[in-house]
Amino acid sequence: MSTDGIALARTAAALYGRGWMEGTAGNISVRLPGAETALITASGVSKGSMTAADVVEVRVDDARPVREGGPRPSAETTIHAALYRLSSDVQAVVHAHPPYATAVAILAARRGAGTVPFADLEIIKGLGLPDPSKVVVPVFDNHAHVPRIAGDVTDRLTADAPPVMLIGNHGATTWGPSLDVARNRMECLEALCQLTLLLEKP
């Protein structure tokens, strides 16, 4: 079993245990060193019981499997590939449905908001931004045809964009220079959303 596959399985199991990857939902990927390919969790696999064998190697340029005949990659592979194409600094991507971030994504979609701003919250520092006092998180429309979301990501994001995003009525995606950093940023985004919702209560 590959070290990268084991790391994906362990991270997925931890997030599943927190209730952030319910059922077979959610997906994680890591870029493979020295290659324009990535390992991503397979489609339809429970993240609570997956193993290092439940991953698929895909090409970053077109999000297609390197080898045919194996498990299908996650339905959101095109979004991961679009994020890898942003910058070679993107080495891992996490997509999950943590409850507070998902709630904020739903509320943003209902308002038709394309962004959600956060300011003056200590946990923003965890995102590793040049200005740790504020962040404007993009919100993407949740198209049934996932490559449309990937296209929107390509059109809207640049290499210096905050490494977090929300998908309306759906969930959250984070990325970074390692799997640990991408996971930590998901935790920070969830904390920001939780604090915001708590502060909005009357």
d(CA 16, CA 25): 9
- Given a cut of 70, is residue 202 above it in pLDDT? no
Map tokens 């200005």 to a residue. 131
d(CA 8, CA 95): 12
- Given a cut of 50, is residue 185 above it in pLDDT? yes
pTM of the model: 0.96
Q: Give Cα 190 distance to the centre of its chain.
A: 12
Phi, psi of 55 (to 5 degrees): -130, 160
Mean pLDDT of 139-148: 97
d(CA 17, CA 39): 22
Tokens of 87: 């910058």
Quick check: 101 and 172 in contact, CB under 8 A?
yes
Domain range for 182 is: 3-200
Count how many domains the chain has.
1
DSSP SS3 for 75: coil
pLDDT at residue 35, as a whole number: 80
CATH code at position 94: 3.40.225.10
pLDDT in tens, 87-105: 999 999 999 999 999 999 9
Confidence grade of residue 34 (pLDDT, cut at 50, 70, 90): confident
Sequence-distant (6+) residues with CB within 8 A of 32 are 4, 38, 39, 57
CA distances from 159 to 40, 42, 84, 86 (A): 21, 27, 10, 5
- Given a cut of 90, is residue 192 above it in pLDDT? yes
